[in-house]
Amino acid sequence: MILENIWQVGLIFIITILFFYIATGKYLRPKNIFDTYTFFYLFIGSFFALHVLVFKLADVSSEFILLFTLSTILFSISFLITSFFLNKKMGVFLNIICNNQNKYSGYYKLYKFNNFLVIFIISMIIATIISIENIYKFNALTDLHGENAEYVLNNYSARLIVYLGSFLPFASLYFFSYLLIINEKKKFKSILSYVYISLAIMISLISNSRASVVNLFLPLGLISFHLYYYNYNLFKKVSKIQILLAIFAISYAVYLGYLSNNDLMAGASAIFVRLFMTSDVVLWYHLGNLNVDMFKDYNLTYFLHPILSPLGLSHIDAGLGPVIAELGGNKAVGKGPLPSYFYEAYLTSNSWPFVLVYSVFVGFLLPYFRYYSIKLFLKSDIAYKYFFIAAILYFINGRFLIDFLSFETKVIVSLATILLFIYSIKIVLNKKNVSND
C-alpha cells in the first residue's frame, strides 16, 4: 500500500519534515544527522503522511478527521511559537556563554583521572555483559521493538539487557565528549575511550538491530553544538565523518534487510518503507477497523502505569501498543506499534478538549526539552552536573511524542544511570579526601 502511493506519501512526508525543520529555528535545529530531533522529524513526517493515506483509502469518520486536523494545527502552532521564543533566548545565551568559555573548568573536574577511570570500569563491565549476552543470543536477542521482541518479552535476562542497554548512550556521550571536546593530550585516557567505543560498535553490530548502529552515534548530535560554537574547524571534520557513518548505518540496515529477504532490492526498499512506517499505529488502528469504544478499560491513569504497576495499583496489563495490535487481529509482539501522543490522549480520554490541550502541551514541551539540553550541555564547563542533566533531556526528548509509557521508563532508567555515575564519582572523591587528610 505504501509503495502503491509512494509519491503522495513521500511528498507529504518531505513537506512535513521541511516545515518542522524550519520551525525548529536556527539555534535548536540539528547540526548533525545523528540527532534525537532527526527521529522526531521522521516520526512526525510519517505520522501526518500516513493519516492522509488512510483518510484517502479507509472509511474514516468526518468527526475523527476534524479532531485530528485540529490537533495537528494546534500541535504545529504550539511547536512553532515555542521554538521561535526559545530561539531568541538561545541567541542571547550564546552571546554570553561564548564570550566566557575559557573561565570555567567543569569539564576537567568531570574528566579527572579517578573519575574517568571509575566511569570507564563501570561502562566496560556493563558493555561486556551486554556483548556476551548478544553473542550468545545472536539470532534471538534484540530490543523491544525488534524482530525478536517476543523472545525479549518472555525472557527475563533479555529484558534486563534491554534496560542495561539504556546505559550505553550516556557512556558513549561521555567518551565521545572526551575525545572531541576536552583538549588534553593524555594518551592513556584516549586509548581507554577508543577501547570503550570499539566495544560499543561491536555490540551494535552483533545486536541484530538496525537502530542500534544509529543509536550508538546519537551523542554526536549534542556534541556537535559544542563544536559548532567553540571549535568550528573540528565541527566541519566531524560533519564529514558523520556523513560516512550515516552511509555505513544505511548500508548495514540494507544488509540486514537482505539477510531477511534474500534480495538486495527488497532489502533496500524495506528500509524506505520502514521510514514511512515509523508511525505504523495509524495503519494498525484504521485498517484494523478499531474505534475508541474498544478501549473503555483505559483512562487517564494510563499515564501513570509505569509508576502504579510495581505497586499493584494499575488496572491495565499493558500499554496501548500491544492492545491495538491484538484488537486489529494481530498477535501482539513486544510493545506493538508506537501509540503516539494523539492516540494516547484520544483513546484514554475520548475527550476532544483533552486531546486538543494535550496536543498543545506536547508541541510546547518538545522545544523546551531541546532548549535546555543544548543550553546545559554548553554550560557543562561551569559544573559537571549540567552534563548529566543535559544528557537526560537530550536522550528522552521526543519519547513522550511517540510513547508516553516508554518515556517514563526511559526517565527512570536514565536517572538510575546518572545516579550511578555521580555516586561512583563521589565515592572516589571522598576516598581521595580521606587519604589526603
Q: pLDDT per residue over 159-207, tens digit each?
A: 566 667 778 888 899 999 999 888 777 889 999 999 999 888 887 776 6
> What are the DSSP calls for 12-76, one per residue?
HHHHHHHHHHHHH-TTTS-SSSS-HHHHHHHHHHHHHHHHHHHHHHS---HHHHHHHHHHHHHHH
Write out the three cell numbers for 27.
Answer: 539555534
Which of the two residues, 393 and 275, has the higher pLDDT score?
A: 393
Lowest average pLDDT, out of 58-62, 246-250, 331-335, 423-427, goes to: 331-335
Nearest to 217 by CA among 236, 193, 245, 252: 245
CB neighbour class for 224 (10 Å; exposed up to 12, middle 13-18, buried from 19): buried
pTM of the model as a whole: 0.86
Nearest to 346 by CA among 63, 42, 148: 63
Residues ≥6 apart with Cβ < 8 Å to 384: 106, 107, 109, 110
**Confidence band, pLDDT 50/70/90 cuts, at residue 311:** confident
CA dihedral 206, 208, 210, 213 (to 10 degrees): -20
Decide: 369 and 28 in contact? Cβ < 8 Å. Answer: no
**Confidence band, pLDDT 50/70/90 cuts, at residue 58:** confident
Block residue for cell numbers 503522495:
8
pLDDT in tens, 131-166: 776 665 544 433 333 444 454 455 545 556 666 777
pLDDT value for 398: 86
pLDDT above 90 as % of the chain: 30
207 in helix, strand or coil?
A: coil
pLDDT value for 169: 86
pLDDT in tens, 21-53: 999 999 999 998 889 999 899 999 999 999 998
Round the average pLDDT of the chain to a whole number and report it: 81
Residue type, 228: Y
Residue 101 has pLDDT above 60, yes or no: no
Write out the three cell numbers for 375.
Answer: 543550553
pLDDT value for 147: 45
Distances (CA, A) of 134 to 138, 196, 207, 421: 5, 16, 6, 24
